[in-house]
Structure 1
Amino acid sequence: MVAWGRNTYGQCDVPPGGDFVAVAAGDGHSLALKSDRSLVAWGYGECEVPKGNDFVAITAYGPYRIALRSNGSLVGWGQHKDDRCDVPKGKGFVAVAAGETSALGLKSDGSLIQWDYKGNYLRDKPPIGNDFVAIAA
Structure 2
Amino acid sequence: MFKRSLITVLFLLFMLNTVSTAYAEVKDSRGYTSTKNDAVVMEKLVQFRISIEDFLKERLGFAEEDIQKSKDSGKNAFDLAKRNGITEKQLKDSIIEVKCKKVDEVLNKGIITEKMADVMKNIIKSKTEKWNGSFNTISF
TM over 0.5: no
TM-score tier by shorter-chain length is under 0.3
Structure with more of its chain in strand, by fraction: 1
Structure with more of its chain in helix, by fraction: 2
TM-score, length basis structure 2: 0.26
